Structure 1
Amino acid sequence: MVRKTAVTSRHATGSGLKGRRLLALLLLSTVFGGVLPFNGHEAYAQQAANEAVSFRIPAQPLSSAIDAFIRQSGWQISYSSALVRGKMSPGVNGNIAPRSALQRLVAGTGISVSIAGAGSAALVDLPGVAVSIPDDGAIVLDPIVIQSSGESAWGAVPGIVATRSATGTKTDAPLIEVPQSISVIAADEIRQRGAESVKDAVRYSAGVGAGGASSSLRSFDNIEVRGFAPTPLYLDGTYLPYIGDSGGSPQIDPYLLERVEVLKGPSSVLYGQNYPGGMVNMVSKRPTETPLREVIVGSGSHDRAYAAFDFSGPVPRSRDFSFRFTGVATRTGTNIDYTNEKRVMIAPSLTWKPQDGTELTILTHFQKDSGRPDYRPLPYVGTVVSSPLGYIDKDFFSGELDYNNYDRKQSVIGYDFRHEFSDRLSLHHSAKYIYVDDSYKTFFSNGYVTTDGVTDYTMLNRNAYDYASKNTVFAADTNLQLNLKAGEVEHNAIVGVDYKWFKNDYWGYYGWGNTPISITNPQYGTFNRPVLGARWDNRISQLGFYAQDQIKWDKWVLTLGGRYDIARQEDHDTMNSVETEKTNREFTYRAGLTYLFDNGLAPYASYATSFMPYSGFDGNQNPFKPTTGQQYEIGVKYQPAGQNAFISLSAYDLKQQNVPSWDQLGVAHQTGEIHVRGVELEAKATLLDSLDIIAAASYTDSVYSETEDDTQGNKVRYMPPVSASLWAKYNFHTGPFAGLGVGAGVRYSGSGYGDDANSFKYPSYTVFDANLSYEFGSRNPDLDGLLLNVTATNLFDRRYVSGCSYLNGCFYGQGRTIAANLNYRF
C-alpha cells in the first residue's frame, strides 16, 4: 500500500481569502503544470521524465497499476479517486522513461497525463475538472488524492518494506545509513500474517525469539534478541514497565501500531539503561489529514470473536485539527483447555497543526484485559521424550478453574510536540504517563510426584502463585536537531535530555507444595490458596544527557553518539523492613561508519556500549554494580535502486560483564560474563508488485564465558543457536483469480540446551503458517474496500516443544489457530 494524503482547502501560511486563493493557484498549477510554461522548472521535470526505469506492471485495475508505478519509479502522482474508479490499465513492461510508462498505463482510459515537476505528475480529465467560485471568491476544487512512495519514520510503511526508522537515531533517518541492524515489521505485514500480539509480529525477524515460556505467557510480550532476555519494550520511544514473569507489564495491541521496530545490539546511547541484546520500539498510529475509516469483524478457532475500528481525518469545520479513534474488542479461548482471553481497548488521539512546521499530537489509549491463563511448565519426560504413559496432552490444563485468573488495566496518556524554527533547526519534545494495575493467578507444575523413589507419571506436583502489581512510568524527552552544511560535509546533529521515573508496587503470594493433579484424569476443585511471601515498593529514576551527529561527506556516513546517565534505584522490601538506595553514573557511546555505493550497497561497521543497574548484593554485602555491554558489528545493507526491497547481513561480537555468578558455597560474585557471537540475514521485498517475500536466518553462539561455578564455557540455556524463516504471499491482480492473495510461511528453530549445566537439550522444530485473502472490489466496484483475510498459525497442528528453561520447565508451542477477519474500508 502507499500513503495517501488528501489535499483540502487548508492553507500552509496566512489566513482568509489570500491564503485560500494561494492554495487554489497552487492546486491549479499542479493539475495544469504540464501545460503552463515554467521554463527552468519544466526543463528539470523533462529531464527526470526521460530517464529510463525498469517497469514490470501487468494489466490490472488502474488504481493498483498506479500503485505499482509509484513503487517502481518513486514518482508522486496526483489524481481524483473518482477518475480512476472502475478503469483498467493495459500495463507496461520494459526499460521505459517514467513519463512514457505512465502514458501507457492510462492508454484507452480517457485520462491525460500532466507532468507537474521533477518526479511528479497529475492524472486529469480536462473536460471534467470541476472548478467553482463561491461568493467569497475562494476557489474550491474537487478532492484530489496525492499518492507518494514517501515514508516517514513515525508513520505508516508503504507495504511490507520499510526504508526509514527513528528508533536507531531519534531522527527520521534512512535505514541504510544506521550502523546497526534494525528489523521493521509494518502494519501490512502484521495484517498479512494475522499477528495478534507484538510477540507474534516479530516471529519472522532474524535474531529474535519468542519461544519457550514466552509462547506460554500470552498476556506478556516476552521477547529475546541476540541471546538476551527480557528485551526492553518501548512505545514511541518511551520505556514500558516490566518486572519479568511476575507481571506488571502493559501489552500493546498490534492493531494500535503502524510498525514494530527491533533495534539489535546495545541501545543505551539514546535510551539509557538497557540490556545489551537490543530493544523493541512500537510506533503508534497517529491522526491523518486524509479521511480513513475501517471496521473489522472476525471469528476463528477456539470460539474467537473479534471486532475493531479505526477512524481518522480532519476534525469537522476545523483547519488545524485532525483526529484518530481506534478500538479493539476480542474474546477467545486458547489451545489449552478451559483457558480464555478477553480485551477491550480504545485509543483516541488528536493532532493540532497551527502552522507549517509546528505540530502537537496527544496520544492515549485505555485497555482492560482479563481471562483464565495457564503458565504450564511441564516435565522434560512427557513432552520432549515420552514417559512410560506417553506424552502429556498439549491441551492439558494444569491449574484450577476457580483460581487461575488474569486481570489488567492499563492507561497511556502522552503528547508529542515538534517545532521547526527554520529549515536547519527543530525542537522535539515528548512525554508519557503509563499506569498498569494487574493481577496474575496461576499454578506452576513442578515435576512428577515421587514417593519412596517411585515416580508416578500420572500425577504432577504443583505450586500456586498470585502476583499483583501496580506499575507507573513517567518519561519525558527533549532534543534539538540541527542540520547544517560546512563545505562538502553535512551534519545532522541532535542534543537532548530525557528523564524517566518508574515505580513498582508488588505483592507476591506463594503456595509451595500445593495439591498435585492427575494428567490422565484431572479433578479440579481441591487446592490451597497461597499466602503473602513478598511485598516491595521499588523506584527507579534516570536522568540522561545525550548527543549524536550523523556526518555525511561524499558517500561516507559517520555516526557518533555519547550519553551520560545518572540512574538512581530505591528498593523497599516492606515485608522484611529492608531499604536500599544506590546511584549509578554511567557514560555510554556508539560509533559507526557507513559507505553508500551508487548501486544501493552500504557496508558498515560499528561499536556500541550499554549498561543496566542490577539489584542485590555480593558476598561481601556490596551492592551489585550495573551490568555493562559492548558490541562490535559489521554488516552490509542493500536497497536496490528502483526496487521495493531491503536486505541486511550482519555479524556481531557481543559481551555482557558484571553478571552475578554464585560459587559452590552459594556466595555471589559479580565476575560473570556472557559472550554472544552471531550472524543474521534478513530480506524483505515486493516483486513485480505481486509477490511479497520475507526471509530471515540467524546463527547465535551464546556462551557463559566467565563464571564462578562449573558452567564456564557452557552454552546459554534456552537459546537455540540456529533459526530461519520464510514467508511469501502472491496477490493476483488480473485474470480469473483477480483479488485473491495466497500466502505461506515456514519457521525453523534449532535444538538448544535446557539448563545451565547443558545436561539435556530440547529438539528442533519446524512449523508452517498460511494466509488467504480476497479483495471483493476487484470484481465488483461497489464492494471496493471490502477484504477477507484468513490466517492459520501452525497449519498442520504439530505438537512440539518450543523450549525448556529447566528439567521440569518445558513448554509446548502454540497449536493450530485459524482466524478470519472481514475488513471494510470506506
Structure 2
Amino acid sequence: MEKLKAGGNSGRVLIRYRNAVLLGCTALVAFAPLPVVAQDAAGQASGTVLETITVDGGGTSGDDDSKSIIANSTTGASKMPTDILDTAASVSVITAKEIQQRGADSIEQVLQYTPGITTDFYGADDRFDYYKIRGFDAWAYRDGLTLGDPFGGVREEPYAFERVEVLKGASSTAYGVSDPGGSVNYTTKRPKSEKFGEVYTTGGSYDHAEAGFDFGDNITEDDTLSYRLTGKFQKSDAEYDYSKDDEQFIMGGLTWRPTDQATVTLVYDHLDRDGVPGSGGYPIGTDFETNRFFGEPDFNYRGTDRDTVSLFLDHDFGTGLTFNSNLRYSNSETDFGYAYIASTPTDGSTLAPRYFYANDSTEETLIGDANFTYETSFANVESRTLVGATVNDTSSTSKSWWDLAPSIDWTNPVYTGAPTSLSQIEDTATDQLTKALYLEQDFTFSEKVIASFGLRNDWIDTTVTDNLTPASSSDGSISEFSKRVGLTYRFTEEFATYASYAESVAPPSNGVEPERGEQIEVGIKYRPDDFPAMFTAAVYDLTKTNITRTNPATMLEETIGEARVRGIDLEAKTELTHDLSLTAGYSYLVSEIVENGTQGNEGNELSLVPRQTASLWLNYTREGNDVVGDMTVGLGTRYIGEYFLTDENTSSSGDVFVFDASLAYKIQPNTTFELNVTNLFDEKYVAYGGFGADFYNPGRAIYATLRQTW
C-alpha cells in the first residue's frame, strides 16, 4: 500500500497528502402491500390553491420547490423543461420542502418514499449512495450532467440541491450512457433575484452536532447580480462503535443577468467527508445490538475530498430560439479501508475469519453540454426542437489492497490493530472521452396529442492502464445509438395518458459489448385544478441484455446475461388542504434472470429486489393563535417486501414495516423547532447477507433542529 491509516473514535492519522482548493392514475391516497387489503382513502376536500411562482435558475419554470411538495414541470425525462402531464415517462420529483419535512439527511433517505426505488439494501455499509430503480442500478446526474454509477462514487449532500428528479426506466437518449433502471438528477441550488435565507443547528443521536445556512440576495439594485451561499458543518458518530460521520460542505454561487434574455451563473462547492465504511458485518444467524462492531477500530476510515465548479449560461433570442449550456469541472479523492467478517463458522466455533480491504480512488472530470431549442407553431400544431452536443473527458485512478486479517471472537472481541502491510491487487488508470450528439422533438396537435421522440449517439474512447503489469494497457472505442418515442393524450387539462418506448446503453469494459436496456411503458396522470396534487400510475416491461459476467472457465468478461423486470408503480402527492398534505406510493414488480451463461440461476429472481414496496407520509398542521404557534406533525411508514440476498435465491430477508415521524413547532413567525425520528420503533432486520456475514438496516435516530428563516 502507499499508506496505512490508524484511528478510531478518537481520530485517525492521515498519511496521504490531500489537496483542496478552498475559496396516478387513480385517486391513489392509500395502499397496502399484499396480502394486506388495499384501502381507498381518496378525499376531495376543498383546499387552497397555491399561487404559481417562478424560480430564477431553478431549471423548471412555474415551481417553487422550497414551498411545495408538488412539482408541475420537470427536465428529468428530457433536456427541455416539460409539464409532467405532457411527459411520456414516469417521473417523480422530491422538492426541497419534502426533503426538509422528512428531515432527509442522505440521498437514500431522500429517495426512500419514492415508488419503484429500493434503498438501504446494503444495511450499515456506508461507503456509497445505494439505490436501485425498477430492479436495476440507476445512474446519478447533476444538472443534467453525468455523475456516474453511485456505487463507487461520492455520497452526495442533499442540502446542496433544490430538488431531486427521478426518471424510471431506460433513459440514455436524454442524458447519455447509463444503466436501464433509470436516473436520479440533482438540481443545484442557485441564486434568486430576491432576499431569502435560513440558518439552523441540529443535535441528536450518536453525538450528532450540525449547523447550516442557506441565504442569498441581490448585490445590485437592478437585480442584475445576485449571490447565494450554502453550507453545512457536521461533527458526529455513526450508529456503531468506533465510528464517525463528520462533514464540511460549502457552496457559493453568483448569477449575472446582463439583459432580460440572458443569465450566467457560476457555482463552486467543496465537500469534505470524514467517516467510516461500515460495521464489519455480523456473524450469520446471530442477533447483536446494532452498535456492536466487529471490524478493526484502527483500520476503519472513509474519506471524500471533492471540489466542483459549475457554469450555466442561458440566452433567449426572443424569436422562439433559446440557447442553454452547462459546464462542470470536478476533482475528487476518495478512500476507504476496513476489516470485515468473511465467513461464519459452522463447526461451533465463535471465531469469525476476517479480511482487510482498502481502496484509494481519484477522478478528474470536465464535462460540458450545449443545446439550442426552437419553438414554433403552424396550423394547429406546436413544435419544440432541441439539438445539442455533450463532451465528457474523465481521468480516474483506482488502487486496491486486500489481505487476510486476524479472526475475531464475536463473544469476546479483541482488536488487533491496523495491518503493517497489505497485498496490492489493483492499480489502474482509466482515461475516457465521451462525445455525443442528440436530438429531441415534440409535436403537440390541437393541444391534445403530444408526440415526442429522441435520438442520441455516443462515441466512447477508453484507455485502461494496468500498472501492476508494466506496459499492460487496453484501448476500446464504441459508437452506440439509442432512441425513445412517446405519445401522450390530454383528455382534459387535468388528465393525461401516455405510452412510450425507451432504450439505455451502459458503458462497457474494454473488449466486451455494452450492456443495453429496453423498456415499454404505459401510464396515466391526474392533476386536479381544485387543489395542488399529482396522481400517477405506470405499467412497464423492462429488459437488460448483454449483462457482463466473468466466465469461470476462462476468467474473462463476457456478455452472457439477460434479466427482465415487469411491474407497476403508483404515486400520489397532494396538499389536500392548507393544513394536510400526503405522499404515497406503491410498487409491485416481478424480476427474472433470463440468461446467466455458465453461472446458471436462470429463472431466479434478481437479488436485493423486493417484489413489493410501499410508502405513506402524512403531514398535518394545526394553526396557532396569539399564544400558541403553528404545530405540524408528520408520520410516515415504509413497507419493504421480502427479497433474495443472492442471485442463487438460497437466502432472503423478511418483509418489514418501518415508521418515521416528525414534529415542527413555530416558536416565532420565522423561528421553528423541528424534531425528526427515523425508524421510530427501532425495527431491526437483515438488509444484506449471503456472503459470510449479515448487515442490519439503520436503527432509530432522533434529531432536534432549531431553524431561523427570513
Q: So what's the TM-score if we normalise by structure 2?
A: 0.89
**CA-to-partner distance for each residue in 1:210-234, whole Å, 9 max, x for gaps?**
1221x423342121111112x2111
TM-fit CA distance, 1:581: 0.7
Q: Distance in 1 between matches of 2:111 and 2:319?
A: 36
Aligned to 1:718: 608
Q: Distance in 2 between matches of 1:405 and 1:288?
A: 38
Q: Distance in 2 between matches of 1:262 and 1:237?
A: 12
Give the 3-state SS of the residue equivalent to 2:315 in structure 1.
strand
TM-fit CA distance, 1:238: 1.5
Aligned to 1:467: 359
For the pair 1:506 / 2:414, whether they are aligned, the reply is: no
Pairing of 1:337-736 with structure 2 (within 5 A): 337-382=241-286, 391-449=287-345, 454-456=347-349, 458-511=350-403, 513-526=404-417, 528=419, 529-554=421-446, 555-577=448-470, 578-598=472-492, 600-615=494-509, 623-661=511-549, 665=553, 669-708=558-597, 709-734=599-624
Q: Distance in 2 between matches of 1:366 and 1:527?
A: 30
Q: Distance in 2 between matches of 1:150 and 1:549?
A: 19
TM-fit CA distance, 1:433: 0.5
Q: Check the 8 A contact 2:127/2:278 in 1, yes or no.
A: no
Q: Distance in 1 between matches of 2:60 and 2:479?
A: 38
Q: Check the 8 A contact 1:240/1:434 in 2, yes or no.
A: no
Pairing of 1:231-310 with structure 2 (within 5 A): 231-242=138-149, 244=151, 247=152, 249-310=153-214
Q: Residues 742 and 189 (structure 1 numbering): CA distance in 2 closer, same or farther, change over 3 Å? A: same
TM-fit CA distance, 1:608: 0.4
Give the 3-state SS of the residue equivalent to 2:336 in structure 1.
strand
Residue segments in structure 1 that go unaligned for 5+ positions in a row: 1-53, 58-67, 78-145, 383-390, 617-622, 777-782
Amino acid at match of 1:562: L
**CA-to-partner distance for each residue in 1:530-549, whole Å, 9 max, x for gaps?**
23221000122211100011
**Greater helix percent: which structure?**
1
Aligned to 1:774: 665
Q: Residues 467 and 664 (structure 1 numbering): CA distance in 2 closer, same or farther, change over 3 Å? A: closer
Amino acid at match of 2:520: Y
Amino acid at match of 1:191: Q
RMSD between superposed Cα atoms in Å: 2.2
For the pair 1:814 / 2:693, whether they are aligned, the reply is: no
Q: Distance in 1 between matches of 2:563 and 2:433?
A: 27
Amino acid at match of 1:537: A
Q: Distance in 1 between matches of 2:215 and 2:662?
A: 26
2:73 aligned residue (145, 150, 164): 164
TM-fit CA distance, 1:600: 1.3
Aligned to 2:21: none
Q: Check the 8 A contact 1:500/1:541 in 2, yes or no.
A: yes
TM-fit CA distance, 1:298: 1.0
Aligned to 1:40: none
Q: Distance in 2 between matches of 1:373 and 1:478?
A: 38
Give the 3-state SS of the residue equivalent to 1:269 in structure 2.
helix
**CA-to-partner distance for each residue in 1:709-765, whole Å, 9 max, x for gaps?**
431111111111111111101011256865000110111111111122211211111
**CA-to-partner distance for each residue in 1:573-596, whole Å, 9 max, x for gaps?**
111232111111111000000111
Amino acid at match of 1:730: Y
Q: Check the 8 A contact 1:378/1:446 in 2, yes or no.
A: no
Would you say how many aligned residue pairs link Structure 1 and Structure 2? Answer: 660
Q: Check the 8 A contact 1:675/1:702 in 2, yes or no.
A: yes
Aligned to 1:220: 128
Q: Check the 8 A contact 2:127/2:276 in 1, yes or no.
A: no
Amino acid at match of 2:125: L
Q: Distance in 2 between matches of 1:345 and 1:225?
A: 28
For the pair 1:755 / 2:646, whether they are aligned, the reply is: yes
**CA-to-partner distance for each residue in 1:27-71, whole Å, 9 max, x for gaps?**
xxxxxxxxxxxxxxxxxxxxxxxxxxx9946xxxxxxxxxx4x51
Amino acid at match of 2:607: R
Amino acid at match of 1:477: D
- Between 1:519-528 and 1:704-713, the stretch displaced more is 519-528
Q: Distance in 2 between matches of 1:209 and 1:203?
A: 7
Q: Residues 199 and 627 (structure 1 numbering): CA distance in 2 closer, same or farther, change over 3 Å? A: same
Amino acid at match of 1:206: P
Residue segments in structure 2 that go unaligned for 5+ positions in a row: 1-43
Q: Check the 8 A contact 2:367/2:391 in 1, yes or no.
A: yes
Aligned to 1:742: 633
Amino acid at match of 2:405: N
For the pair 1:205 / 2:114, whether they are aligned, the reply is: yes
Q: Distance in 2 between matches of 1:155 and 1:602?
A: 23
Give the 3-state SS of the residue equivalent to 2:263 in structure 1.
strand
Aligned to 1:137: none
Q: Distance in 2 between matches of 1:317 and 1:556?
A: 45
Q: So what's the TM-score if we normalise by structure 1?
A: 0.77
Q: Check the 8 A contact 2:531/2:577 in 1, yes or no.
A: no
Amino acid at match of 1:693: L
Give the 3-state SS of the residue equivalent to 1:351 in structure 2.
strand
Give the 3-state SS of the residue equivalent to 2:159 in structure 1.
helix
Q: Residues 319 and 180 (structure 1 numbering): CA distance in 2 closer, same or farther, change over 3 Å? A: closer
Q: Which has the higher contact order (CA 8 A, sep 6+)?
A: 2
Amino acid at match of 1:716: L
Aligned to 2:671: 786
TM-fit CA distance, 1:474: 1.1
Q: Residues 706 and 242 (structure 1 numbering): CA distance in 2 closer, same or farther, change over 3 Å? A: closer
Q: Distance in 1 between matches of 2:88 and 2:688?
A: 32
Q: Check the 8 A contact 1:154/1:283 in 2, yes or no.
A: no
Please identify the structure whose Cα radius of gyration is greater. 1
Amino acid at match of 2:635: A
TM-fit CA distance, 1:485: 0.1
Q: Check the 8 A contact 2:255/2:264 in 1, yes or no.
A: yes
Q: Distance in 2 between matches of 1:210 and 1:240?
A: 19
Aligned to 2:684: 799
